[in-house]
Structures are given as structure tokens and as C-alpha cells.
Amino acid sequence: MDESRTGMSFRNYNNLLFIGGSGERTGKIGGNWTELRSFAKEHYPNAKERYFWAAQDCMSLDDIPYIGSYSRSTTDFYVASGFNKWGITGAMVSAIILSDMIAGKSRDYADVFSPSRSIIKPQLFVNGYEAVKNLLTISKKRCPHLGCTLKWNSVEHSWDCPCHGSRFAENGKVLDNPANGNLS
């Protein structure tokens, strides 16, 4: 997988090559696969495009996943999220940490992933700015989560929320959380 935010990732399966990358924050206009297609054309000129799609990942404020007790006051609830595009690796680490927590064992590094760690990070201010800007923008469509203005994604035909990443189909059906209801 790609380590840098602008890097690419590669996987193969039988005679298929998966090329990933060119990510964008939800609600922003992305590269629409242009970068990936030019890369494929340059490096694999005889390859034929079979499928293309966009995925969505939950990004944490400090690039480290949230793994552990959901909160200090709900010690019997556990969370594993914010894998920042490293889902396979994050899932393995989550399995180790959470199974140890449930079994009453401790791992030195578990605190690094604790969802209760400090969230005062530069990304918090970027997110705050986006939220205020999109709350104040006049729009016909508002997100049912906290009311941010929704952006039409003309490539994937969805309504996307730049505040916390909820997405809705053209007919208003919720596709991605944290919104848990359809558009009215």
C-alpha cells in the first residue's frame, strides 16, 4: 500500500493488476481516475482497463488508527477505526489489541492507539475550518448528520458531505456514515 498521501498502491490477482491512489477528501473535486489512467498508460501500455471505482476510508486526526475502549466511561465497548487506507494491517493490529484487552492482558503499545488519546492535532483545525465554511454555505441540500452543505459528485452521482464524509445516492439513500438517515 502507499505510504505517502500522494502515492499509489498496487496489488495483483491472477492476471489483474489493481492500481490505487489519487485520493481526495470527501466533497472535494478529485482527479477522477485521470492520474491512475495516465500512470497505467505510461507503464502498462498494453493493459486494458477492466474496472474502476472509488472507495472511502476513515482518516484519523494523527494518522494512527483508533483501537481500544470506545471511551473511558464505556470500557465494555470497543472500537477499531480510522485505518487511513491501511485496513488489512490495521485489522490485524486491532485483533491483537482488542483480544488482549478482552482477555485482561496489556500491551505496551496499546496506548498509542487509544481512542481516548489527545485529539488536539493540526488536522482538527483543518476539519473545523471545513465544517464552519460548509455550515455557512447556502445550499438546497443539507446533510442530515449536522447540517453541512452537500456537494454533488458528478462522477459518482452522489451527494457528498465535506464535513465528516457522509455520502448519499442520487435518490437520497444514505451510502456512508456518520449520517444514519436518508435525505428528506
Q: How far is Cα 83 from Cα 75, in angstroms, rounded to an integer?
A: 21
161 contacts ligand FES (rule: CB under 6 A): yes
Q: Does 176 bind ligand FES (CB under 6 A)?
A: no
Q: Would you count residue 143 as binding ligand FES (CB under 6 A)? A: yes
SS3 of residue 122 by DSSP: helix
Please report whether residue 69 would count as binding ligand FES according to CB under 6 A: no
Q: Please write down the long-range contacts of 8-16, taking CB distance under 8 Å and 24 or more positions apart.
A: 8/36, 8/39, 9/85, 16/50
Cα–Cα distance measured from residue 110 to residue 42, given in angstroms and rounded to the nearest whole number: 43
The least CB distance from residue 166 to ligand FES, in Å, is 4
Binding-site member from 61, 80, 110, 179 for ligand FES (CB under 6 A): 179
Does position 101 interact with ligand FES (CB under 6 A)? The reply is no
Stretch that binds ligand FES, among 10-18, 36-44, 60-68, 162-170 (CB under 6 A): 162-170
Residue 183 within binding range of ligand FES, rule CB under 6 A: no
- 183 near 159, Cβ under 8 Å? yes
